[in-house]
A and B are shown apart, each in its own frame.
Chain A
């Protein structure tokens, strides 16, 4: 007992500096990464890579939504890619049907998707775990059917417009992009900036009142209730935030591909997204980026670069998921820095022992 206060006051004196330094380092790393991704990267890679990176940024937003629901609140949703398709649909139709400025279009798509996503999240008030997972997976399945039946996204004038030919063809103009970023490179940068804003929005939530309330719900619902947390309200808030972000991502997606197709949104993609998000790590913001890289860059590498069937990826994701669930619940985002630190220690130790031997008699 007597030694405890002395030890903690020592760490207390050191801690503020440590925290400050960690924050500064983290900020610098993020800023440097963002600048690299925005400025030199587009000129370093070809257009096919640029498209891949654009969709990686978009899927990072979707994975972030999954991470908020599962990592922060503990609600598993297997319908996030289906929700993305809702966002794509709403975004595309609003782009054809209205002339509103692009940022407004993003917000409107986000708001409408948010409403639908919150409705899908309603069962989470009564169900959890496997049952919520099943309900959301059914939503994903239903969305796939709705998209096929309605000839998604069906070009034509106005918000509800249908054309006789059905699906969008090469004759229908592609979904419009913001006037300040019509070109591929500019629009890629636009997407990255919007994605960064979405990450900022998520960070602000996690670090403030809702984030703390979510953490308490995740720890124990009775304890959260006893702490005065309105569980219904905060669960719905999480679904609203995740759906809003996914809706914004959907609108970006519609403009990115120009002519969205049903085939892009299969039911199983929601499952793959959940798997990659878990592999990336749902407790960390970085995990969403890792997840998006797995989800978008790997298939591109496999198919376009190496000519390997992307179905092999499913096996890889399966193995990765097993590994994460068994050994590293924090995913790669937590495991990788830890492994690197261990490796660093190992290297420095072996270097020191090597020098020690040489310096000896």
Chain B
């Protein structure tokens, strides 16, 4: 369980996150909102790249903000980035193994853990294959494997389906949905693909201009008028509406 209270982030002049308070329950949670809503900034706060101006984040009864950034991985924080960041120079195995190495997990279980993570995401190529020769889908899956290896507690996925065609997103959705049960990690998914979000997440939170505007079961949240407004803009009179108004 992640408990966020009064989180505020200020960069000179703008407030990407404004007094955000919410609780992410165990499972896979969606975090959506239009561009610039503060989703990635929230991930950056969790990763320790951004220091918030105010607020607290309690993750599984520990104060996350007090932890040094590079120690958070050892604690169990994993994340992927909007742009894919699998390491080209290294093999698929080494890509995942390096996360395991810095996670504080036992060395003796490394091989088994890494291979299990690769199998979990459905990568079937030889583990010695260099990431440089993989295609976009496979690289994304390597990233997900990196995110689930070595006893993760909190997995942050930042637009994992960006740039993937629909049928490949389907496979990704199946993988993401299984993460909480398979690894016991709370998973937060940021994505603009609402099909992916509704398929993976029981709960979804919606941010708009740094403010939490909705939180609840995904299907309900996606029907919420305020959410639709945030995505499609303020209600404006279209020519058709004007015509209707005149007719009345």
A-B contact count (CB 8 A): 82
Of listed B48, B86, B88, B102, residue having the most chain A CB within 10 A? B102
**B79 / chain A contacts, CB cutoff of 8 Å:** 226
From known contacts A1-B167, A225-B70, A228-B74, infer whether A219 and B89 are also in contact, taking CB-CB under 8 Å. Answer: yes
Which A residues are in CB contact (< 8 Å) with B167? 1
Total residues of chain B contacting the partner, CB 8 A: 34
* Chain A residues, CB < 8 A from B125: 8, 11-12
Whether A229 pairs with B124 at a CB distance below 8 angstroms is no
Interface size on A, residues (CB 8 A): 28
Within 8 A of B (CB), among A1-51: 1, 4-5, 8-9, 11-12, 15-16, 19
- Evaluate contact between B98 and A227: CB separation under 8 angstroms: yes
For residue B182, give the distance in angstroms from its CB to the closest CB of chain A: 20
The 8 Å CB contact of B94, one of A8, A212, A218, A229, is A212
Nearest-neighbour CB distance to chain B for A72, whole angstroms, equals 8
The answer, yes or no, to whether B239 is at the interface (CB within 8 Å) is: no
For B85, the closest partner residue in chain A by CB is A223
Q: Which chain B residues (41-86) contact chain A, with CB distance < 8 Å?
A: 47-49, 69-74, 77-79, 81, 85-86
- Nearest B residue to A222 via CB reads B49
Asked if A230 lies at the interface with its beta carbon under 8 angstroms from chain B, I say yes
Measured between beta carbons, the chain A residues less than 8 angstroms from B89 are 215, 218-219, 283
**Given A1-B167, A12-B125: A228 touches B49 (CB 8 Å cut-off):** no
Contact flag A216-B72 (CB < 8 Å), given A12-B126, A223-B81: no
Q: Which residues of B contact A251 (CB under 8 A)?
A: none
B97 interface residue per 8 A CB criterion: yes
Chain B minimum-CB-distance residue to A12: B126
Confirm or deny: B146 has a beta carbon within 8 angstroms of a beta carbon on chain A: yes
Q: How far is the CA of A262 from the CA of B205 in the complex (A)?
A: 68
Which residues of A lie under 8 Å from residue B126 when comparing CB positions?
8, 11-12, 15-16, 19
- Given A212-B97, A219-B87, A227–B146 Cβ distance below 8 Å? yes
A15 touches B103 (CB 8 A): no
Q: Which of B101-138 contact A (CB under 8 A)?
A: 101-103, 124-126, 128-129
Nearest 7 interchain pairs by C-beta: A228-B73, A228-B102, A212-B98, A15-B126, A223-B85, A8-B124, A219-B87
